[in-house]
């Protein structure tokens, strides 16, 4: 099955660095279509160049987060959900362009995570929705489903908001494209409590927590890490200069 790898991305000093690294990872993966959605008013040349150089099949879109939903440069990272409109734009593209496709898997891959190539082979095994451990997330070394002897999911080890229907990170799961196509109303939203993006989406495509398919050797292996790139401390002058160049206040808006 083809992998549709959806990456929301936004401008900051490390954007090009993070996307370059990700493109080098993805360029090792056969049968992968990279859907990159910029959080901007228009497509930028610098992202276009990375996509072109990757030699991957790709789709380049943009969807700007409305200013009221956009965090300030100085905000702590958790104040508002990120990637909402960008992932939705990719889902709409899939529903418009890939209607009728039966063989494919959709994954939400952020631009700053670290991916072992083995995670892509796990994704291809997904029947409805697959799940696996994620490293360095939710205040844990590894956040993972907990399996019974017979291999079924009985719990999750998450500590942060463990009462969520799916106490897992965006990087922890992939779903069959048919679920995306047959549930056209399943979208991300600014109107869900913090930490509930994953749960709301999975519920909306008709998945229940115990019938996800545990992958990565019965959830004993970590093939993706929620690494975060340190926010660069730019000078006020540099922020103003970049802001001017891009025509709107991207760093502060
Ligand atoms: C965690 C999860 O891993 C994300 O999947 C989830 O979207 C996020 O929390 C959330 O709560 O919304 P975290 O590392 O804190 O991730 O988030 P970022 O990496 O800063 O952002 C997630 C993705 O959205 C990235 O690919 C980033 O480039 C993009 N993004 C971020 C935008 O498109 N616009 C923004 O203003 C900020
Ligand atoms: Mn991140």
pLDDT digits (tens, 9 = 90+) for 81-126: 999 999 999 999 999 999 999 999 999 999 999 999 999 999 999 9
- Take residue 23 and report the two structure tokens written for it: 């493109």
Beta strands 32-38 and 58-62: pairing type?
parallel
Helix (H) or strand (E) holding 89: helix 84-97
Beta strands 153-156 and 145-147: pairing type?
antiparallel
Given this model, what pLDDT does residue 252 score? 46
Q: Whose CA is nearest to atom 7 of ligand 1?
A: 82
pLDDT of 246 over the 70 cut: no
Q: Are 63 and 39 in contact (CB under 8 A)?
A: yes
Q: Which candidate, 45, 80, 79, 81, places its Cα nearest to that of 62?
A: 45
Helix (H, G, I), strand (E, B) or coil at 68: helix
pLDDT digits (tens, 9 = 90+) for 118-150: 999 999 999 999 999 999 999 999 999 999 999
Instruction: Sketch the domain layout of the chain as residue ranges.
Output: 2-246
Mean pLDDT in residue range 64-92: 86
pLDDT of 75 over the 80 cut: no
Mutating to test ligand 1, I would choose from 43, 110, 173 the residue with most ligand atoms within 8 A of its C-beta, which is 110
b/e code 125-145 from CB counts within 10 Å (16+ = b): ebeebbbbbbbbbbebebbbb
Ligand nearest to the CA of 83: 1
pLDDT digits (tens, 9 = 90+) for 155-205: 999 999 999 999 999 999 999 999 999 999 999 999 999 999 999 999 999
Q: C-alpha distances in angstroms, 226 versus 16, 104, 171?
A: 18, 24, 7
Q: How far is the CA of 83 from the centre of ligand 1 (A)?
A: 6
Q: Is 228 in the pocket of ligand 1 (CB under 6 A)?
A: yes
Q: Are 130 and 122 in contact (CB under 8 A)?
A: yes
Which residue would you say has higher pLDDT here, 125 or 70? 125
pLDDT of 250 over the 80 cut: no
N-term to C-term CA, the chain: 40
Q: What is the CATH number of domain 2-246?
A: 3.90.550.10
Q: What CA–CA distance (Å, rounded) separates 1 from 4?
A: 10
pLDDT, averaged across the chain: 93
């Amino acid at each position: 099955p083809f992998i549709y790898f959806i990456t929301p991305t936004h401008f900051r000093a490390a954007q090009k660095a993070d996307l370059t690294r990700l493109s080098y990872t993805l360029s090792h993966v056969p049968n992968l279509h990279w859907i990159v959605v910029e959080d901007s008013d228009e497509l930028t040349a610098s992202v276009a160049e990375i996509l072109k150089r990757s030699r991957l099949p790709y789709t380049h879109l943009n969807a700007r987060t409305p200013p009221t939903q956009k965090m300030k440069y100085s905000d702590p990272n958790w104040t508002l959900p990120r990637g909402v409109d960008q992932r939705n734009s990719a889902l709409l593209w899939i529903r418009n362009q890939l209607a009728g496709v039966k063989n494919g898997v959709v994954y939400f891959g952020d631009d700053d995570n670290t991916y072992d190539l083995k995670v892509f082979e796990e994704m291809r095994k997904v029947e409805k929705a697959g799940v696996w451990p994620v490293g360095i997330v939710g205040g844990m070394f590894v956040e993972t489903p907990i399996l019974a002897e017979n291999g079924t999911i009985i719990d999750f080890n998450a500590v942060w908001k463990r009462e969520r229907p799916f106490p897992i990170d965006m990087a922890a799961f992939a779903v069959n494209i048919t679920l995306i196509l047959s549930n056209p109303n399943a979208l991300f939203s600014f109107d869900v409590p913090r930490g509930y993006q994953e749960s709301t989406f999975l519920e909306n495509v008709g998945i229940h927590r115990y019938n996800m398919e545990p992958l990565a050797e019965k959830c004993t292996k970590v093939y993706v890490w929620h690494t975060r790139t340190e926010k660069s401390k730019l000078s006020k002058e540099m922020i103003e200069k970049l802001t001017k160049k891009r025509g709107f206040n991207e760093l502060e808006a």
